[in-house]
Chains A and B, each alone.
Chain A
Amino acid sequence: MGLREYISDISEAVVTIAKGMRITWKYGVDPKEETTIFYPEERMVMPERTRGFLFNDVARCIVCNMCVKQCPIDCITLESIKGADKKNVLTSYKIDMGRCMHCGLCVEICPPKSLVHTDGYEGSSHTREELIVEFVEDDLATIKARIAAHAAELAKAAKAAEAAGKAPAAPANPAGGEKK
């Protein structure tokens, strides 16, 4: 090791230390550099297309079963019964959030766009069962009662239509007449 090299080693050490200290000084004196978000008190604004937890708007769901078929890991299960107007009515729509991998295929396929990704990401729970989320709030009896009421309403409407004479048949629900 020659003297020239020796001195250049020392000067390199001094220069690099000075360079490093200038960088840390810049970060140290500028309070705006802080990137911490105080999580429980404030939350990040998630980007628009975040694939967070799934949410199904059961009122708009047409029970087409597409999401169940599409799901690569079969984490969606649904049960339905025939409704008054022969459309299917959901009695249960469950998504196992513990298994869902947020691939978004079910959201893409959903015809009425009722199944969507939310920006939720806080889903910790104590048991695995809590991670299976049920979207239909009412129990089976309530749903059946509602269908019966709907059927009765439809029947009444059909009767009224019949009583109104041979009025042009209501195209709205030809099925309602058949039900009678």
Chain B
Amino acid sequence: MEPVAATVYPNYDSVGRAILEAFPIIDFLPVWLVALVIMVVVAACAIVFILVFEGVGSLVLRKLAGDIQSRVGPNRVGPYGCIQFLADGVKLILKEDLKPAACDRVLFRLAPYLAFVGSCAGLVVIPFAVGMIAADLDIGIYYVMAVSSLVSIGILLGGWASNNKWSLVGAMRGAAQIVSFEIPVAMSIIPVILVAGSLSTQEIVRSQGGLFGIFNWNLFHNPFLFFSFFVYLTAAQAETCQTPFDLPECESELVQGFMTEYSGIRFGYFFLGEFGELFVVCALATAGYLGGWHIPFLDAGNLGWFWGNLLSLGVFLTKTFTLVLVSMWLRWTLPRTRVDQLMRMCWKYLVPLTFFNLLGVSLWLLIFDGKGIPAMIAALFG
């Protein structure tokens, strides 16, 4: 049996060895140390990226809310309020970190980190560009599904440790909602895995190349996949607790739900985690359905290392940010659902639909020998 590690794309050990060969001055360092340094650098890049995304994303969210609600939005810090997020960040860091007297101290401190780590760990398998991925795990999708359930543990811990009724109710709602919606999210991404024949995110993106880099997207593969994409977006909106489904933290009834007792940077971690999750689900939707980093009318693989990576990164981020914007747009459109409506939607509508989609896609792949509609049309024209 072949070693599984061999299939992981950026093999940090070999990269470390290559660097040691390139720079003989640091030859005395062990390979594992160099590899570790590279890993830390990659992780730092990912964290910096997600923090910037969260800052700018929160500003865009508020500006968009202003536009949609005929207001202006943040407009005091910098021109058009464009550095408001820095002020917010400074405020969050400097604010007093309150702890309720009767809280469970250890769990109370632990919860925000779990939520943050759970949402941002998904970044590891996001295929940013042709050769840009922190680790191309061959169980990529499975990994994301697994680590993102850490968020529900964080929420549950936070609500429980706060020793507050609002927090507890919010946490129970959050846990129930996230656990329920994991199923439609996972089930609506499985058709993509079927088409690509792999769980690796990079492999899924690669399977969508060709046909001008647009028409081989999984979105257009067949009607079931087209439908599945929107089911995924809906379920992802609920899994990340975005507004039509933000029951764990609904302000009007539960103050802030599981975040009621949190302030300062601990609140900030929950907040960042939420945005990180938003990015991860949108990036997964891009990779799974919208052709990932495939550049329209160009082959990213033939552009050379630098331009290929740069252009495909730009394309990937454009697609992802468009989805993020759509998610925010949806967020400011719909009012919050009730708990029973939410659960009903999940169990009675989304779950059966995803199973139906899965069946449909499986049959399609079986009958048409894995070819999508655009590929068949292209075959007609030779």
Binding site for B on A (CB under 8 A): 6, 9-10, 17, 20-21, 23-25, 27-29, 31, 33-36
Contacts and interface: CB of A to CB of B under 8 A. Distances in A.
Interface in B11-48: none
A9 B349 contact: yes
B72 A24 contact: no
B67 A27 contact: yes
Interface in B336-366: 349, 353
A31 B68 CA distance: 9
B124 interface: no
Contact of B70 (A6, A25, A34): A34
Contact of A34 (B72, B330, B333): B72
Interface string B108-142: 00000000000000000000000000000000000
Given A27-B68, A27-B69, A36-B71, A21 B349 contact: no
Nearest to B244: A17
Given A10-B349, A28-B64, A21 B333 contact: yes
A17 B68 contact: no
Interface of B: 64, 67-72, 329-330, 332-334, 349, 353
Contacts of A25: 329
A31 B47 CA distance: 34
A6 B348 CA distance: 9
B301 to A, nearest CB: 37
B70 A33 contact: yes
Contacts of A24: 68, 329, 332-333
Contacts of A9: 349
Contacts of B69: 27
Contacts of B68: 24, 27-28
Nearest to A22: B333
A31 B73 CA distance: 12
Nearest to A23: B333
Contacts of A35: 70-71
Contacts of B334: 17, 20
A66 to B, nearest CB: 46
B70 A20 contact: no
Nearest to A21: B333
A33 B334 CA distance: 20
B71 A34 contact: yes
Contacts of A6: 349
Given A27-B68, A34-B71, A34-B72, A20 B333 contact: yes
Residue of B71, B333, B353 with most partner-chain A CB within 10 A: B333
B1 to A, nearest CB: 46
Given A34-B72, A36-B71, 5 more contacts: A10-B353, A24-B68, A24-B329, A34-B71, A35-B70
Contacts of A36: 70-72
A6 B353 CA distance: 11
Nearest to B326: A21
Contacts of B72: 34, 36
Give the top 9 A-B pairs by smallest Cβ distance, nearest first. Answer: A24-B333, A20-B333, A28-B68, A33-B70, A28-B67, A24-B68, A36-B72, A21-B333, A35-B70
Contact of B330 (A10, A21, A31, A33): A21
Contact of B329 (A21, A31, A33): A21
Contacts of A33: 70
A63 to B, nearest CB: 50
Contacts of A20: 333-334
Contacts of B349: 6, 9-10
A147 B72 CA distance: 58
A35 B68 CA distance: 12
5 contacts: A20-B334, A24-B329, A27-B67, A28-B68, A31-B67
A113 to B, nearest CB: 40
